[in-house]
Amino acid sequence: MNKKFRLFIYVFLLILISPLFANAGVEGSLVEKMTDLVFQIGVILFAAKLGGFLMKKMDMPSVLGELMMGILIGPYLLGGLPFFGFHNGLFPLVNPEFPVTPELYAFSTVASIILLFHSGLETDLSMFLRFSAKGAIIGIGGVFVSFVSGAWAGSLITGLPIISPVNLFLGVISTATSVGITARILSEQRKMDSPEGVTVLAAAVIDDVLGIIILAIVLGIVSVMTGHGGAVKWSAIGYIALKAIGVWLGFTVLGLFFARKIGNSLKIFNSETSISVMSLGLALILSGIFEKAGLAMIIGAYVMGLSLSRTDLSFVIQEKIHPIQEFFVPIFFCVMGMLVNVNEVLKPDVLIAGVFFSLVGILSKVVGCGIPSLFLNFNLLGAARVGVGMVPRGEVALIMAGIGISAGILSPGQFGVAVLMTLVTTLIPPPVLTILLRKEKRGTRTEMKGSTTVVNVFDFPSYELMTLALTKVIQALKEEGFYLHDMELDHHLYQIRKDDVFLTIHEHADHFEVVSDPEDVFYIKTVVYESLLEVNNTIENLKTMAKPEELKKELSADDNTRVQNSFFKDIHENCIIMNLKGNNKNSILYEMVDLMDNAGKLVDYEECLQAVLDREASMSTGMQNGIAIPHGKTDGVRELVVAIGLKKEGIDFSSLDGQPSKVFIMTLSPKKNTGPHIQFLSSISAILNKPHFIDDLLACPNAASVKELLIREAKEKG
Amino acid sequence: MNKKFRLFIYVFLLILISPLFANAGVEGSLVEKMTDLVFQIGVILFAAKLGGFLMKKMDMPSVLGELMMGILIGPYLLGGLPFFGFHNGLFPLVNPEFPVTPELYAFSTVASIILLFHSGLETDLSMFLRFSAKGAIIGIGGVFVSFVSGAWAGSLITGLPIISPVNLFLGVISTATSVGITARILSEQRKMDSPEGVTVLAAAVIDDVLGIIILAIVLGIVSVMTGHGGAVKWSAIGYIALKAIGVWLGFTVLGLFFARKIGNSLKIFNSETSISVMSLGLALILSGIFEKAGLAMIIGAYVMGLSLSRTDLSFVIQEKIHPIQEFFVPIFFCVMGMLVNVNEVLKPDVLIAGVFFSLVGILSKVVGCGIPSLFLNFNLLGAARVGVGMVPRGEVALIMAGIGISAGILSPGQFGVAVLMTLVTTLIPPPVLTILLRKEKRGTRTEMKGSTTVVNVFDFPSYELMTLALTKVIQALKEEGFYLHDMELDHHLYQIRKDDVFLTIHEHADHFEVVSDPEDVFYIKTVVYESLLEVNNTIENLKTMAKPEELKKELSADDNTRVQNSFFKDIHENCIIMNLKGNNKNSILYEMVDLMDNAGKLVDYEECLQAVLDREASMSTGMQNGIAIPHGKTDGVRELVVAIGLKKEGIDFSSLDGQPSKVFIMTLSPKKNTGPHIQFLSSISAILNKPHFIDDLLACPNAASVKELLIREAKEKG
């Protein structure tokens, strides 16, 4: 049994036994509603994670797993099965018209707002406005073709005219490319900086913005049409489309204009977390206003994100709302799955419609983005790569479908068709794109900058250090005016751009890689170099200001210091040496580590020795009155190991008072679970503090009497 | 007008104009419900923050502000006023029996679970089990007296027997002390480590656990009584009480037993955020099970928190769920305020009942905790301090009252009485306790350890450095086996304990203070010292591994490096010097900074000079082929400033190839908004790379020709 899934089995068992505790509650009461909701959210979080895990195992995007798990545990499948204690199942079909409770749907609604707020925050508007005309043309092509063909496919399926609420909605659902999946594949194949990669990522930004505008217009048109009994009144449609664009444009312009002011106002909250939560509050309010204005909530959320994306808070907010996102977003995908009426979708006509709609969805992006690519210096291979890369639909398509079903515009069957399209368009491109990218041929007609890239690897001894350095590097790049796009929060993949400089940073366990054009290598190295120097200076400052030297001088324990006498009982007599042979610092250290090793206390001799030497190199452990306390943290020991060595003549140990050191207490502790090793050090220092005690110790005839003397003294002071 | 409140005014205006956008929606439709909810949550977040701010200004706990703001904007006051666009107001009274929508209440329910989960995570069970018998006795006294007198006061108010659901509930509501407010006052008065402080904090732990147990029992009894038409059946009550304790104890023991296993299983999730969200998922599932078992959801949440408090994940989870908490918790307090029916509470009899219940609530804790204190070596002053310190009720009392009203056990008037008691008991103690603590007399009969404390201050040059150092110190203390209690997330106040060692750490902008017994000072200093050395070693490692020296060698730009030719146009001719006078590194640096200053480019000469010298001290900027690029980041300039200096003879600048340096390009950039200064550096290095170019430059007759040459070369390469 895979160890990884043990927790899921525990949780599953817990859910299975939970009805045993069921007391009779008041059916349908508020308390019961809340209990069910809380239980459901807990179950959803685990089901979504499990689905995500399983999908990742198959190298598929985890959101698909969350969506499918939602279908599985939803009211139409497992969730609807009666289960003692839950009379109508864990996720009962409360209302045949809308299968989930309003309370649960509320969480999914907030999730969709968070998703689009985040998407707005990530949007690189300056790039949208001035960079990559190529990306813009291809993005517009894709959106236009997929919208029209989506609505056309809808009209074939529904039998209604293209200009009808359902079909317009199916058109909108077809437009939104989700570039995360493509970005991951590009990155795995080291093709993110290729002309195809850059173009897809640029086109996706246009796609996002255009999708939002089209949604705004369609919602306007739909509201007019439902107001006129479905009749097409072109004048009214024109007016409402203008109004929708007007509201959208008005708030976007206002938002961008006041972005810095809003950002500065948010800074009155004294913590980054508060700033981020309150910015989410702004997004919620604007979402409400947009919905009231006949647009959709998510448009408001996107506009607020877009505005703040221009401020220096953008990155902070993205980071701090991440836990909130991790809580809400799985609920969103699962609830979308739950809305899928399986009985409906499995009907042959719906299934056929779904497959047809999916095919149209794939072809429309391949054609809509591929054909313009052919005119923009891409050859057939390059155009295919770009086209396939733009196929995946994702969260935005689902959100739009969710809006459609909750507003009653889409029937359950039509909603199912839309979800099926999202699934298919997300499942098909990854393998196809991988094959297309594997061909070594270039995808452009003429040799282009970016066709060759260089990978620079920066190695670090630990994750902690890598993070520290990378943080500084990213900060430096941002200060240089670069725009940072965090492609996938979990995959630690950054896309960094400014004008025509285009970098990708991959974060790994103990190194990071920077992929770039050959001509930017020098620049990258300079940035990393200066950042490392800055880290170094920071620490030099720290050392000066915190004055460890002075602190060390103060480390002459006074009489009142607390002593933990229990420590001394455990000292092994074989680890006490009465006459150290060595005459210098290093030989004494070697000798005492040997002593520990001979007593069988060490797991890895070399590591232990190194730890002690390293510690000594950073600052001598020679204290006052002839005492030295060499020590180190190392995985070469399993528990705290102590050795005591005496050297009557004393040696120079660079001690605090310049006097020769005569008594050496060496301690080694494991890196993790160090235990109270500093408490031990301070206890030792405390009892060794009186000068006469050193003489007593040196006068001891053997190891047993040394130990006895230490225990006695510790008891007196303890 | 206070600048701080500008954002609130913007938001208020936004809310005021929002009805302008109102389109006719389908009244009561799912979409409208969701829109209202989203808008409401956004408004609540801002209202709560504003309330919290105003309270803090008056030096009162911010939760009171959130609660009172909830009353103000709730359906019984402002929220119920019609407001065009919102026909029944922003928070309409949807249902006279329960004033908020189930959707909004759902968010507040999840918030209460998060609160109690967090409270469980913070509980120091090892302290509960073995430390401070004194605290235990005082805690038990307070809980017992306040429960009995709360139920008794309830019987006087309601006219029902003490053993009736309402009065038992009022008793439970009276028990829960919220120690956060007391802790803040103790800390402000530097009395957290006093015998009174330690005792109150220990007693509060007992209080939490006992409160949860009593709630479990009362819920059991209530369910039996409602099942029997209100009749008191002692045998049934005994049985159900045992069952309630049984379920509670069973899960607590299981949880503690499997704590490490659960913790390790959670670690399969690869990020700390995922681990934390999934642990919250476990809390939600257990909450559901507890409610099903006839106990309350919050008990399940507390038990799950308590179990995980014993694992090494406790601190990580507390930190990572903080943003989730900041989002949900204000919703909880506002909703509790909204549940207060103002019309009901303002009735004379309810008001009188509320004042009476509050008085009983205050006296019961003062007496219940004060009298035992008198027998435990406290004098009258000390007993008063302990008693008053235990008076504040907080979130737990509100949650219990919320459970009461949502289950229909408490009437709106009785709920109002309970909320009033929470308000009064939170408002009264802070000033009283402050006065009691200000008296210099000691509160114990005999002199006690802890009566005198020592404050150690550790200063740092910046918040960033302080945080880095404090993180290491806290990590070291945890490894030493200390238990860390984060008293108030916003106040950066930690209580740290192990056995009888008791420390308080106060985090400030650029320093932290450690308050302790005099006998632990040496230990603390050792911990700080070793932690700083560790930070230092980490960085030394970083330097070695990332090899800036080697990186610097690679920094010999090749021909392909990208050049931004725009930079060179902006170089001021007055900042070009053809013959540097200086003959050593420092004099050259001084000369060039002078040059910039004379050209009027610097804001602060001293700072600029220092920045350049500092950068040079960390590693020479002498490159190959006679070029040096001294630079620095400093607030002594407002924008990128460049100076160029030539020295035909060359001087020793410790350059990379050991050759004398002849061409000096100095750049200074502001600390914030550095702009593309590294891009400039790399452009400079790139065009200076050809040896003959240096000769060309040195051969220039004047500044104008130097500039011209640079621009020409940059254009060729750009």
Q: Which two tokens stand for residue A207?
A: 């796609």
CATH of domain B133-263+331-438: 1.20.1530.20
* CB < 8 Å to B272, chain A: none
The span from the first CA to the last CA of chain A, in angstroms, equals 52
Chain A: give the shortest CA distance to residue B539, in Å.
Answer: 7
Please report where in the chains the tokens 């999202």 appear, as a residue. A422
Give the DSSP letter string of A693-715.
HHHHHHT-SSHHHHHHHHHHHHH
Q: Which of B431, B387, B541 is CA-nearest to residue B188? A: B431
Q: Is the sign of the CA dihedral B206, B212, B213, B217 positive or negative?
A: positive
Q: Does B705 touch chain A (CB under 8 A)?
A: no
Nearest CA in chain B to A562: B519
Please return the burial class of B689, using the count of CB atoms within 10 Å of its CB with bins 0-12, 13-18 and 19+. Answer: buried
Cβ-based contacts of B297 with chain A (< 8 Å): 34-35, 38
Residues of chain A positioned with their CB less than 8 A from the CB of B103: 102-103, 106
Residue identified by tokens 């017994």 is B517
- Return the axis-axis angle of helices B677-687 and A521-546, rounded to nearest 10°: 130
The phi and psi torsions of A499 (rounded to 5 degrees) equal 45, -125
Nearest neighbour of B38 by CB, restricted to A22, A278, A288: A288
Q: Which of A33, A106, A518 sits opposite B37 (nearest CB)?
A: A106
Mutate to test the interface with B, among A9, A307, A331, A526 (most CBs of B within 10 A): A526
Which residue(s) pair with A378 in the sheet? A444
DSSP secondary structure letter of residue B428: S
The answer to whether A53 and A65 have CB atoms below 8 angstroms apart is: yes
**Looking at chain A from residue 77 to 106, which residues have their Cβ under 8 Å from any Cβ of chain B?**
85, 98, 102-103, 105-106
**Closest by alpha carbon to A537, among B508, B612, B517?**
B612
B335: nearest Cα among B659, B43, B713, B704 = B43
Distance CA A259, CA A306 (A): 9
Burial B198-221 (b: 16+ CB within 10 A, else e): bbbbbbbbbbbbbbbbbbbbbbbb
Please give the angle made by the CA atoms of B286, B287 and B291, to the nearest 5 degrees.
115
Report CA torsion sign: B462, B272, A674, B123: positive
Place of tokens 């913790």: B263
- Burial class of residue B438 in the structure, from the number of CB atoms within 10 Å of its CB (0-12 exposed, 13-18 middle, 19+ buried): exposed
Decide if B526 and A406 are in contact by the 8 Å CB cutoff.
no
Q: Checking DSSP bridges between strand A493-498 and strand A501-507, what pairing results, if any?
A: antiparallel
Residues B133/B135/B141/B142 CA torsion (nearest 10 deg): -160
Residue at B697: amino acid letter: L
Q: Which parts of chain B have pLDDT scores under 70?
A: 1-3, 21-28, 83-87, 124-132, 193, 227-233, 447-452, 461-465, 483-492, 499-500, 534-567, 672-675, 689-691, 717-718
Lowest mean pLDDT among A279-288, A347-356, A693-702, B83-92: B83-92
> Residue A367 above 90 pLDDT?
yes
Q: Where do you find CATH 3.30.310.10 in chain A?
A: 454-546
- Beta bridge partners, B457, equal B513
Q: Quote the percentage of chain A above a pLDDT of 90.
A: 24
Whether A46 and chain B come into contact, CB under 8 Å, resolves to: yes
Q: What chain B residue is nearest to A24 in terms of C-alpha separation?
A: B292
Number of CB atoms found within 10 A of residue B555's CB: 18
Burial readout B620-651 (b: 16 or more C-beta within 10 A, e: otherwise):
bbbbbbbbbbbbbbbebbeebbbbbbbbeeeb
Please answer whether residues A550 and A496 qualify as being in contact, where contact means their C-beta atoms are separated by less than 8 angstroms.
no
Quickly list DSSP for B359-394. HHHHHHHHHHHHHHHHTTTB-HHHHHHHHHHT--B-
Residue B546 is predicted with a pLDDT of 44
Instruction: List the single residue in B11, B526, B685 with the smallest CB-CB distance to A682.
Output: B526
With a CB-CB cutoff of 8 Å, which residues 656-695 of chain A face chain B? Answer: 672-679, 681-682, 685-686
Helices (H), B480-601: 521-546, 548-554, 566-569, 585-598
Q: Of B369, B324, B275, B319, which Cα lies nearest the Cα of B494?
A: B319
Specify the range with the lowest mean pLDDT, choosing from A59-63, A229-233, A659-663, B364-368. A229-233
Q: Give chain B positions within 8 Å (CB) of A549.
A: none
Measured CA distances, A348 to A340, A405, A479, B500 (Å): 15, 21, 57, 73
* pLDDT at position A713: 79
With beta carbons less than 8 A apart as the criterion, state whether A487 and A183 touch: yes
CA distance B66 to B72: 10
Q: Which amino acid is at B699?
A: A
pLDDT of residue B612: 87
Q: What is the mean pLDDT of residues A301-313?
A: 86
Q: How far does CA B78 lie from the centroid of its chain?
A: 31
Q: Which residues of A are catalytic, by number? A: 631
DSSP H helices in B627-689:
677-687
Say how many C-beta atoms besides its own lie within 10 A of residue B144's C-beta: 15
Question: Quick check: helix, strand or coil at residue A669?
Answer: strand
CATH 1.20.1530.20 segments of chain B = 133-263+331-438
pLDDT band at A554 (very low <50, low <70, confident <90, very high): low
* Whether domain B454-546 has CATH 3.40.50.720: no
Nearest to B251 by CA among B297, B307, B199, B200: B307
Q: What is the pLDDT of residue B427?
A: 87
Tell me which residue has tokens 């399926």. Answer: A157
B13 interfacial to chain A (CB closer than 8 Å): no
What are the structure tokens assigned to B600, written together?
């009027």
Burial (CB < 10 A; 0-12, 13-18, 19+), residue B592, is: buried
CA A56 to chain centre: 15
In this prediction, residues A6-13 reach a mean pLDDT of: 83
pLDDT at A124 over 70: no
Give the pair of three-digit tokens for residue B458.
Answer: 């550790």
| B118 close contact with A: CB closer than 8 A | no
Distance from CA of B639 to the nearest CA of A (A): 12
Indicate whether A1 pLDDT > 50. no
Chain A residue with minimum CA distance to B317: A323
Half-sphere exposure at residue B276, Cβ-oriented, CA atoms within 13 angstroms: 24
Domain with CATH 1.20.1530.20 in chain A: 127-438
Q: What ipTM was assigned to the predicted interfaces of this complex?
A: 0.77
* Residues in contact with B227: Cβ distance below 8 Å, sequence separation at least 6, in sequence order: none
**In the structure encoding, which two tokens stand for residue A471, read together?**
């943080």
**Chain B contact present for A242, CB below 8 A:** no
Classify burial at B5, counting beta carbons within 10 Å of its beta carbon; exposed 0-12, middle 13-18, buried 19 or more.
Answer: middle
CA distance A280 to B326: 11
Partner residue facing A323 (CB), from B35, B321, B676: B321
Question: Quick one: closest CA in B to A38, which residue?
Answer: B284
Q: Report the distance separating Cα A98 and Cα B33, nearest Å.
A: 14
Residue with tokens 């420390």: B503
Contact A460, B545 (CB under 8 A): yes
* Candidate from A11, A46, A525 with C-beta closest to B551: A525
What pairs with residue A605 in β-bridges? none
CA–CA separation, B22 and A289 (whole Å): 8
> Are B460 and A558 in contact (CB < 8 Å)?
no
CATH superfamily, domain at A561-717: Mannitol-specific EII; Chain A (3.40.930.10)
Q: How many residues does chain A have?
A: 718
- Phi first, then psi: what are they for B326, rounded to 5°? -65, -30
Which chain B residues contact residue A110 at CB under 8 A? 38, 41
Q: Are A643 and A596 in contact (CB under 8 A)?
A: yes
Residues A355-364 have a mean pLDDT of: 96
Sequence-ordered alpha helix ranges (H) in A493-547: 521-546
Give me the pLDDT at residue A553, please: 53
Could you say which residues from 491 to 550 on chain B have a Cβ atom under 8 Å away from some Cβ of chain A?
501, 517-523, 525-530, 532-533, 535-543, 545-546, 548
d(CA B62, CA B82): 29
Element at B514 (helix H, strand E): strand B511-516
Indicate the pLDDT class of residue A489, thresholds 50, 70 and 90.
very low
CATH topology of domain A127-438: Na+/H+ antiporter like fold (1.20.1530)
* Higher-pLDDT residue of A553, A476: A476
Amino acid letter, A24: A
pLDDT in tens, A665-698: 888 888 766 667 777 777 777 777 666 778 888 8
Q: How far is A228 from chain B (nearest CA, A)?
A: 14
d(C-alpha B389, C-alpha B428), whole Å: 11
pTM reported for the whole predicted model: 0.77
Burial class (CB in 10 A: 0-12, 13-18, 19+), B245: middle
Is A59 a residue whose pLDDT tops 60?
A: yes
pLDDT tens across A127-183, in order? 555 446 788 899 999 999 999 999 999 999 999 998 888 999 999 999 988 877 787
CB contact under 8 A, B323 and A321: yes
> How many CB atoms within 10 Å of residue A130?
9
Tokens representing residue B603 in the block = 């804001």
